Amino acid sequence: YLDAALQIALDYGVTFYDSLYLAQAQKYGEFLTSDEEQADIANQLGIKVYLI
């Protein structure tokens, strides 16, 4: 996950900490968040997003 998280952080300009959640969501294909920026990035990555 670390390589994927680093690439997400570099590609989308988010913190490495935030990108770890996105990298994990890539594996499972779904992402639950209240952060609209992360939701947008997850959508761009093809991850199904549940914005709460």
**Quick one: pLDDT at residue 1?**
86
In single-letter form, the type of residue at position 39 comes to: A
In single-letter form, the type of residue at position 50 comes to: Y
Give the count of domains, the chain. Answer: 1
**Quick one: pLDDT at residue 11?**
98
pLDDT grade for 32, boundaries at 50, 70 and 90: very high
Average pLDDT over residues 25-46: 97
Name residue 33's beta-bridge partners.
Answer: 51
Question: Mind giving me the DSSP string for 1-52?
Answer: -HHHHHHHHHHHT--HHHHHHHHHHHHHSEEEES-HHHHHHHHHTT-EEEE-
Average pLDDT over residues 29-49: 97
- Give the domain extent around 15: 1-51
| 29 in Cβ contact with 42 (< 8 Å) | no
